[in-house]
Amino acid sequence: MSKKLYKDVNGYKIEDRFTGLSNDLKIEMLRKMYEIRHFENEAEQFIIRGMIHGTCHLYTGEEATAVGAICAIQSDDYITSTHRGHGHCIAKGADLNIMMAELLGKKTGYSKGKGGSMHIADVRSGNLGANGVVGGSIGIATGGALTCKMKKNGKIVVCFFGDGAANQGIFHSSINIASIWDLPVVYLCENNVYGMSTSVKEAFNIKRISDRKYAYGIEGLTIDGNDLIEVFNTISYFAGRCRTGKGPVLVESLTYRWSGHSKSDAQVYRTREEIKEWKERDPIKRYREILISRKIITEKDDSDLEKEVMNKIQKASEFARESPFPDPSEVEDDVYA
Amino acid sequence: MSKKLYKDVNGYKIEDRFTGLSNDLKIEMLRKMYEIRHFENEAEQFIIRGMIHGTCHLYTGEEATAVGAICAIQSDDYITSTHRGHGHCIAKGADLNIMMAELLGKKTGYSKGKGGSMHIADVRSGNLGANGVVGGSIGIATGGALTCKMKKNGKIVVCFFGDGAANQGIFHSSINIASIWDLPVVYLCENNVYGMSTSVKEAFNIKRISDRKYAYGIEGLTIDGNDLIEVFNTISYFAGRCRTGKGPVLVESLTYRWSGHSKSDAQVYRTREEIKEWKERDPIKRYREILISRKIITEKDDSDLEKEVMNKIQKASEFARESPFPDPSEVEDDVYA
Amino acid sequence: MLKNNARQLTYLEALREAMQQKMRADNDVYLIGEDIAEYGGAFGVTVGMLEEFGSERIRNTPISEEAIIGIAAGSAITGMRPIAEIMFSDFITIAMDQIANQAAKICYMFGGKARVPMVIRTAGGGGTGAAAQHSQSLEAIVAHIPGLKVVMPSCPYDAKGLLISSINDDNPVIFIEHKLLYKNKKYTNSVPEEMYEIPLGKGDIKKGGSDISIVATSYMVQKSLEAAEKLSLEKGIDCEVVDIRTLKPLDIDIILNSIKKTGKLICVEEAPVFGGFMGEVVAQVSEKGFDWLDAPIKRVAGRNCPVPYSLVLEQEMIPGVERIEKGILDLLG
Amino acid sequence: MLKNNARQLTYLEALREAMQQKMRADNDVYLIGEDIAEYGGAFGVTVGMLEEFGSERIRNTPISEEAIIGIAAGSAITGMRPIAEIMFSDFITIAMDQIANQAAKICYMFGGKARVPMVIRTAGGGGTGAAAQHSQSLEAIVAHIPGLKVVMPSCPYDAKGLLISSINDDNPVIFIEHKLLYKNKKYTNSVPEEMYEIPLGKGDIKKGGSDISIVATSYMVQKSLEAAEKLSLEKGIDCEVVDIRTLKPLDIDIILNSIKKTGKLICVEEAPVFGGFMGEVVAQVSEKGFDWLDAPIKRVAGRNCPVPYSLVLEQEMIPGVERIEKGILDLLG
Ligand SMILES: Cc1ncc(C[n+]2csc(CCOP(=O)(O)OP(=O)(O)O)c2C)c(N)n1
Ligand SMILES: Cc1ncc(C[n+]2csc(CCOP(=O)(O)OP(=O)(O)O)c2C)c(N)n1
Ligand SMILES: [Mg+2]
Ligand SMILES: [Mg+2]
């Protein structure tokens, strides 16, 4: 790994670990972002066509945060996710077929159709699950980190949650305990400007959510969540710090939710201009251009890659559509282990 | 009122409002502290003699915080209190007879015997009640402040809570809302070094609980909670600030609980020396000596005052003992308004 | 019904009108909750209210259920009459201490010397594919707590009258609305324009009948009416449908009077059957109406599992018209 | 009983021994809660455990019930077997989202692909003068939630065996202890030294009898036994006392078998009667045992109010031996 400095920010000497990565890995990250983008596009199609019973919260526009953070940790580390969880799940290595099947409520889905979009989980890949309760997974992540510490297994947890979740009580009580016990958790707040219709300006009286670190005596930083390289380097740095037993950190990743909150959102609370501005900061476009300019891929490679991904999504979609529904008789299965 | 400076601390230019008070008021504060001290002594006697069904949390040693803070606000301002609530209740002007009767579960008590020590409340005097749930009153205080704001009645709320309560979720979610809405609340954290057996060192990874103000973008300070004059001047200052619509503040008052947590506490978690050290910082002794040295009272005035208070407590005790128990038939009364 | 004028409203419109009228009449009434301002609430109940009443009285909050209820309670003790919206009833769990230990008990703990006039409006029930954490029917949990009142309207007319009564009540009222009723044109009914109250603690016979009594709550009242109609047409069975409307206080007399006539009782609710509210109904009827019963009381309710996501499973979990019909036929033997 | 050796333990000692033995045998078992280390827990249950197991496994927390349960659940999914102590059962309300929406539902929401082996130990019940926020019996609330198991031991022998089973169970178990049993020498009994399990979902006949069945939980089992003894001596009435031990899963068969014999049922619990757990017992018995009943089922339970402070009121709120006796006599007519 390169020991070059990426950024010296607030005294954190964040190394440039990105540049030294293999090209394969760099391209893999682009692929993952495409997977998320096109998975969400397909999910949106399903919603429009009324094939999703329930709602979906799309991750479109925030891809760099999930992919940058998850590629910065080990594959057997844990994450916890949110109601807007497809991106985290894909980045952590879930199978797209099985995910898509879950969205359609099929027996072949991750939860056999019992969980759906809001409870997508692939525990085997270390994803401890999406969560329909805003803030609901912050305690769970903290508990996962306690396991890591008690079992001394060298693992860490990345806990994703939204800006909205940062005002729930469990944010406070959990991070405090993680701090006094030096638990290895990266609390990663995805500040996408809104919690449903409520802007962070309305919900907070502080400029940076990461400043809440002062309430717990922990480290933290606010980063550009649409810049995959910044996310990757920062989380690499802090994950490493966690792994050496120095306790939790609070990172705020600034990004933007392109879609409405969920399928029934008229978006009266924001302007078209604002959305447009943010779309110009498309994390995929930014990263792709870097890879092209650094000659890691060509334009052609890129469009091939995207096509390949779109194909894969089509396959997942077919798999999901063709999969059987669960049998009603299974309804009371799995209530207990 | 005097405009002299009491302290310039962290840029807060806290005026000396104490010196300009009338002697009567200064003596009144000493009286209130004696009332609390002797009320608690009497309550302890009741506990020892098995006359209190249930438990009591004594405020002994912390008198300057309740009295200093409550004398710094208007008599029609609100307070919320805690499980350790006798001191707040007395300082806010409750009748000692009625309080003592409540402790003994008598019909003549503030809650007709239904609440007891842990739920002592005198709503008419603006005391919105003690609370058996640690942290439980922080939301209520915030709601009281919302009323003040919506009704534009010029009142404020002082919300008392312990160091232990500062790690509950509702501390976080309530103060955040008070901050974004500029509600007039003084959040007054009584840091008495322990939450039951757990020391603040063990429960926090920060030096000053008042630093949690940075999480909400509010003002605040840590003060010597055993120095009545410091408490009075600081709360006067911040209460004034609240009243002008500048939003909530977080004040940490450093003090110490002399007694065990409750009647069944063997106190294995702290040393005799520590208790002794703190007893030397007796808030009553300190304040009395100041009044004497400033010739506001003589030694004799002081001992007369204390005797007078002890008499009053004896009367309260008699009143309570002689009062009738509620009738069992009343048990389902007052469930609904 | 108070008045049978022709104006048809949806459940959602009736709820909104109740709040608007109360807010116009009483400055102490205000709304507090998540996304209730510009957005108009997750289900649109408060659409337009920000424009009329402004942000001082339509108080949009961060996502902080526990604080919402604590603040509502604190403001209620000091003179306001808050209506707090908890977006999904599943999230009352986050505020459960403030609901059950604070709001519900303050009046009693303080010997009647404080009152807590507040309404917690929340959307309950499933059928929307929102899965385990957004579909629960948690009324049994709050109904058990002394000091609370619990209301579950099944139609627009009741929604308005019960909400006005709840706002006027000096106690904390948990007011549980059903998501599938909000905009449902099938279940509109005529709603008087003026303010009117439906007293808390009074059930309503939604359909008279003599063969069997069906006691139901909320959306299940509508499903029971459909089942009753089908059985009437297809088999000539004459069901009486009793909508208890308020779980607490419970109008046990209307139930007892019904079974005096029919001798048979079936209880229908959406929540998982085990430990559900209908256990209370059965227990009271068993105690007070044992002699009038000529068959065991039957419960038709949700299965004992969380609400599943997949449509086929969700329909299996939540009772529908067919399951109610089958229950009735089984009971009639 | 498994073994009738002579060693008498208190309830508290039995609980502590169960935890000690499991912790010695399994490194994944650990304790988390407030004041459980030096202090030994508010009621002394964990006294001495810090010395034996150290602060890594006896994890003293700040006052943060919601985080305690969330952390326990997260550690359980990832391989630990936490025992979380919530000091008073009243405070499970603070953690209710984590209990009811998270721990209880994870297994189901994830299609059985995660398990949450955790025990929440908590002290319930009144009689200690601790008033409305420290005396509740909230078992009905958790028993209604699919995915939870709910255990309430009434004596030391059961306490140990049921706690061991609860720790061994792969699901979240709410284990409600009674404050008046902890150190009560009146209710010690012989407890085997070895580890033993009492299966969850099996009730126990604490006293056989033929005239009437008393179904009770926790401390009310002891009160029922006292009432039964008095009635036997004074009136020759032969009561059968059924301790259901686990509310969920519920051993309905042991209850049905008992009423087959007696034809009469009285249900005794400490919680306010309205919406209490016994409604479920009554409903199941009404459905499945209607023909065996020759009298209405009666409930003797807490009054419909918060637990009051004053001794005279508290004794009126919570059922005692006399109220149980009276209930039995009324029922026997
Ligand atoms: C406890 C809770 N309250 C309210 C909701 C409804 N809700 C779902 S997502 C959401 C907004 C969440 O905002 P944020 O945490 O910023 O995540 P984002 O949707 O922006 O990714 C709300 C209010 C919920 N699911 N859970
Ligand atoms: C929610 C809750 N958890 C636990 C308790 C038990 N308990 C009562 S007081 C107390 C300590 C409170 O500490 P702190 O807030 O510092 O107040 P202090 O007693 O020091 O005045 C605890 C743990 C409680 N009453 N409420
Ligand atoms: Mg957001
Ligand atoms: Mg303290």
- Contacts of residue A307, Cβ cutoff 8 Å, sequence gap at least 6: none
Show the domain range for B163. 11-317
Partners of residue C131 in chain A, C-beta under 8 Å: 54, 114-116, 118-119, 132
At C190, the amino acid letter reads S
Residue A142 host element (H or E):
helix A138-151
Q: Which residue minimizes the CA distance to atom 22 of ligand 2?
A: B196
Query: Do C79 and C208 lie in a common domain?
Result: no
**Total of domains in chain D:** 2
- The closest residue, in CA terms, to atom 21 on ligand 2 is B162
Q: In the numeric block, which tokens belong to residue B147?
A: 């009323």
| D106 plus D239 within the same structural domain | no
Token pair, residue A162, equals: 């939204």
- Using CB atoms, which residue from B119, B146, B337 is nearest to C171? B337
Residue C152, exposed/middle/buried by CB under 10 A (0-12, 13-18, 19+)? buried
d(CA C290, CA D228): 25
Q: Which of residues 5-34 of B touch A (CB under 8 A)?
A: none
CA neighbor of C284 nearest in space, from D43, D278, B217, B160: D278
Last residue of a domain, one of D181, D196, D230: D181
Give the model's pLDDT for residue D6: 73
Which chain A residues are Cβ-neighbours of C313 within 8 angstroms?
Answer: 105, 113-114, 326, 328, 330-331
DSSP letters, B216-249, are TT-EEEEEETT-HHHHHHHHHHHHHHHHTT---E
Cα D103 to Cα D120: distance, rounded to the nearest angstrom: 11
3 state DSSP class of D134: coil
Q: Do B131 and D133 touch (CB under 8 A)?
A: yes
Contacts of C312 in chain A (CB under 8 A): 105, 113, 325-328
Per-residue pLDDT of chain A (337 residues; tens, 9 = 90+): 447 999 999 999 999 999 999 999 999 999 999 999 999 999 999 999 999 999 899 999 999 999 999 999 999 999 999 999 999 999 999 999 999 999 999 999 999 999 999 999 999 999 999 999 999 999 999 999 999 999 999 999 999 999 999 999 999 999 999 999 999 999 999 999 999 999 999 999 999 999 999 999 999 999 999 999 999 999 999 999 999 999 999 999 999 999 999 888 889 999 999 999 999 999 999 999 999 999 999 999 999 999 999 999 999 999 999 999 999 999 999 999 9
- Residues C163, C241, single domain; the answer is no
CB-CB: which of B114, B333, B336 is closest to C109? B114
Pairing of strands B194-195, B5-9: unpaired
- CA-to-CA dists, residue A102 to A260, D21, D44, D108, angstroms: 22, 42, 48, 14
Examine residue C1 and state whether it is found in any structural domain, yes or no: no
**Measured distance CA(D231)–CA(D242) in Å, rounded:** 16
**CATH code for the domain of D24:** 3.40.50.970
Neighbouring C-alpha atoms within 13 Å toward the C-beta of B59: 37
pLDDT in tens, B237-279: 999 999 999 999 999 999 999 999 988 888 999 999 999 999 9
For A288-322, letters b (16+ CB in 10 Å) and e give bebbeeeebbeeeebeebbeebbebbeebbebbee
How many angstroms does the Cα of residue D155 sit away from the middle of ligand 3? Answer: 50
**Mean pLDDT for chain C?**
97
Task: Indicate which of B161, B198, B269 best probes the interface with D, i.e. most D CBs within 10 Å of its own CB.
Answer: B198
ipTM exceeding cut-off 0.90 for this assembly: yes
Please give the structure tokens belonging to residue C83: 């209506």
Looking at the fold, whether D211 and D135 belong to one and the same domain comes out as no
Q: Given CB atoms, is D332 within the 8 Å cutoff of chain B?
A: no
- Cα separation values, D167 from B290, D56, D183, D226, D241, Å: 59, 19, 22, 31, 27
Whether residue B133 has pLDDT greater than 90 = yes
Q: Mark whether C215 and C314 lie in a shared domain.
A: yes
Max Cα–Cα distance, chain B, nearest Å: 59
Catalytic pick among D16, D22, D121, D134? D134
Is the CB of B330 less than 8 angstroms away from the CB of D314?
no
Q: What one-character-per-residue DSSP string does B85-146 give?
A: -HHHHHHTT--HHHHHHHHTT-TTSTTTTSS-GGG--BGGGTB----SSTTTTHHHHHHHHH
- Least confident stretch, A263-272, B171-180, C295-304, D188-197: A263-272
Tell how far the Cα of D61 is from the centroid of ligand 2, in angstroms: 12
10 Å CB burial of residue B41 (0-12, 13-18, 19+) is middle
Please return the burial class of B199, using the count of CB atoms within 10 Å of its CB with bins 0-12, 13-18 and 19+.
middle
Contact A133 C94 (CB under 8 A): yes
pLDDT tens column, D288-328: 999 999 999 999 999 999 999 999 999 999 999 999 999 99
Do residues C99 and C68 touch, judged by C-beta distance below 8 A? no
Identity of the residue numbered A206: I
- Judge if the beta carbon of residue A133 lies within 6 A of ligand 1: yes
Is residue B288 in a domain? yes
Residue B71 has pLDDT above 50, yes or no: yes
Going B252 to B255 to B256 to B257, the CA torsion angle's sign is: negative
Distance A237 CA to ligand 3 centre (A): 24
Residue C71 reports pLDDT greater than 70: yes
Test site for ligand 1: of A36, A63, A196, most ligand atoms within 8 A of the Cβ: A196
Which backbone phi and psi does C60 adopt, to 5 degrees? -75, 130
How far, in Å, CA of A307 to CA of A286, rounded? Answer: 18
Residue C59 forms part of a structural domain:
yes
Answer positive or negative: Cα dihedral of D115, D120, D121, D125: negative
Catalytic residues of C: 134
Q: Are residues C46 and C146 in the same domain?
A: yes
Q: In the complex, which subunits touch C with 3 or more CB pairs below 8 angstroms? A: A, B, D
Q: Is residue C237 part of a domain?
A: yes
CB of B132 closer than 6 A to ligand 2? yes
Residue B38 within any structural domain of the chain: yes
SS3 (DSSP) at A161: strand
Distance from CA of C28 to the nearest CA of B (A): 8
Please identify, by atom number, the ligand 2 atom nearest to the C-alpha of residue B84: 21
Q: Which residue in the set D30, D101, D112 is minimally distant from A133, CB to CB? A: D101
Q: Pairing state of beta strands B249-254 and A78-80? A: unpaired
Strands in C239-243's sheet, in edge-to-edge order, are C204-207, C239-243, C212-216, C265-272, C298-302
- Residue C30, in any domain of the structure: yes
**C186, part of any domain:** no
pLDDT digits (tens, 9 = 90+) for C27-52: 999 999 999 999 999 999 999 999 99
- C210 pLDDT exceeds 80? yes
Structure token pair of residue D47: 């006294």
Mean pLDDT for each 10-residue chunk of chain D (333 residues)? 70 98 98 98 98 98 98 98 98 98 98 98 98 98 98 98 98 98 96 98 98 98 98 98 98 98 98 98 96 96 98 98 98 93
If asked whether residues D70 and D15 sit together in one domain, one would say: yes
Chain C residue numbers with beta carbons less than 8 Å from the beta carbon of B333 are 112
Domain ends where: D123, D150, D181?
D181
Give C205's contacts (C-beta < 8 A, 6+ positions apart). C240, C241, C242, C243, C254, C258
Q: What is the pLDDT of residue D237?
A: 98
CATH number of the domain residue D323 falls in: 3.40.50.920
* C289 and C323 fall within a common domain: yes
Strands of C49-167 (E only): list them: 58-60, 81-86, 119-124, 149-151
* Helix/strand/coil percent split, chain B, to 5: 45, 15, 40
Identify which of B82, B134, B209 to mutate to test ligand 2's pocket (most ligand atoms within 8 A of the CB): B134
Q: Sort out which chain B residues have CB atoms less than 8 A from A169's CB and list them.
A: 168-173
- Rounded CA-CA distance C102/B131 in Å is 8
- CA–CA separation, A200 vs A157, rounded Å? 25
How far is it, in rounded angstroms, from Cα A116 to Cα A89?
13
Name the nearest CA neighbour of B79 among B152, B157, B23. Answer: B157
Does any domain span residue A336?
Answer: no
Q: Are residues D303 and D258 in the same domain?
A: yes
CB of D85 closer than 8 Å to CB of D32: yes
The Cα–Cα gap between A234 and A222 comes to 10
The last residue of a domain, from among C149, C181, C213: C181
Q: How many CB atoms lie within 10 A of CB B245?
A: 11
Answer whether residue A123 is part of any domain: yes
Query: Domain residues for D212?
Result: 204-332
Residue A6 lies in a domain: no
The mean per-residue pLDDT over the stretch B177-202 comes to: 98
pLDDT at site D4 = 53
DSSP state of B6: E
Contact of B61 with B281, CB cutoff 8 Å = no
Question: Distance between CA C247 and CA D279 in Å, rounded?
Answer: 14
Q: Tell me: cis bond preceding B326? Omega within 30 of 0 counts.
A: no
Q: Based on the fold, state whether residues C211 and C316 are members of the same structural domain.
A: yes
Q: Which residue of B has its CA nearest to A204?
A: B180
The answer on pLDDT for C3 being more than 80 is no
Joined together, the tokens standing for residue B115 give: 């609440």
Does any domain span residue C5?
no
Find, in chain D, the residue whose alpha carbon is nearest to that of A118.
D109
Number of H helices, E strands in chain C: 12, 14
Model confidence pLDDT, tens digit, residues C9-23: 999 999 999 999 999
Same domain? For D307 and D217 the reply is: yes
| Nearest CA among A40, A17, A166, A43 for reference residue A91 | A40
Q: Which of D15, D21, D22 is nearest to D36 (CA)?
A: D15
Would you place residue C1 in the very low, low, confident or very high pLDDT band (cuts 50, 70, 90)? very low
For residue B276, tell me if it sits in a domain.
yes
Cross-strand partners of C121? C85, C175
Whether C232 is covered by a domain: the verdict is yes
Mean pLDDT, residues C280-309 taken together: 97
Q: Please tell me whether residue D265 adopts helix, strand or coil conformation.
A: strand
Count helices and strands (H / E) in chain A: 11, 9
- Phi, psi for residue A43 in degrees, rounded to 5: -60, -40
Contact criterion met (CB below 8 Å) for B222 and B208: yes
Q: How many residues does chain B have?
A: 337
In this complex, do C304 and D272 lie within 8 Å of one another by their Cβ atoms?
no
- pLDDT exceeds cutoff 80 at B159: yes
Return the residue whose CA atom lies nearest to atom 20 of ligand 1. A195
Neighbours of A277 (CB within 10 A): 11
D116 and D230 inside one domain: no
**Is D282 within 8 Å of C278 when comparing Cβ atoms?**
no
pLDDT at position C5 is 56
- Per the domain annotation, does D254 fall within a domain? yes
Q: How many residues does chain C have?
A: 333
pLDDT tens, C75-127?
999 999 999 999 999 999 999 999 999 999 999 999 999 999 999 999 999 99
Residue A134, in any domain of the structure: yes
By Cβ distance, the residue of D69, D79, D171 closest to A337 is D171
In the prediction, which pLDDT does A262 show? 87
CATH of the domain at B133: 3.40.50.970
Ligand 2 in reach of B165 Cβ (< 6 A)? yes
